Structure 1
Amino acid sequence: MAMDAIDIERMIKEGLPGAEVTIRDMAGDGNHYAATVISESFRGKSRVQQHQMVYAALKGQMGGVLHALALQTSVPD
C-alpha cells in the first residue's frame, strides 16, 4: 500500500515544525515522490544531516510503505 502525498507532507511538517514542504508525485503511481523541504532547523547542518532529519520525521516509512522519495532540502533565504 502506497502513501498519499498529503500524509507525507503532514508527517514532515509534524517532525519539522514551521517547514515549508512541497510534494510531487513523480510517476503518478503513488510510489515515487519528490519533496522540497525548506526549514530553519536545517541551518548549519550538512545535506546528509538535513535528509536524515526528514527521514526521521517519516518515522521509518522510507523503504517500506514509502517506496521512493527524491529530496531537496534547504534553509529559508
Structure 2
Amino acid sequence: MKKMMKAIAKKFAHMGSNAKRVLSNRSGEGFVDTAVKILMAVVIGALVLGGLYLLFEGTILPTLTQRIKEMFNYKG
C-alpha cells in the first residue's frame, strides 16, 4: 500500500511540474498571430471567389448560354 501511495504521489508531483513548465512557457502562437492568419485566409478566399465569379460571368456563362440556345434552336 505504501508503494502505491508513493507512486501516486510521484505521479502527481510529475504532473504538477509538467503543468508548471507548460504554463510558464512563453513560446508559441499568440492570439494576434492566429487572428492575422484567419484574416489572411478570409481575404485570399474572397479574392479567389471573386476571380472565379468574374471568370464564369465573363467567359464561361456567355458561351454556355450561346451553346444551349444553338442546341435548342435546331432547325432540321
Output the TM-score relative to the length of structure 1.
0.21
Which has more strand, going by share of residues? 1
More helix by share: 2
With normalisation by structure 2, the TM-score equals 0.21
Q: Which has the larger radius of gyration?
A: 2
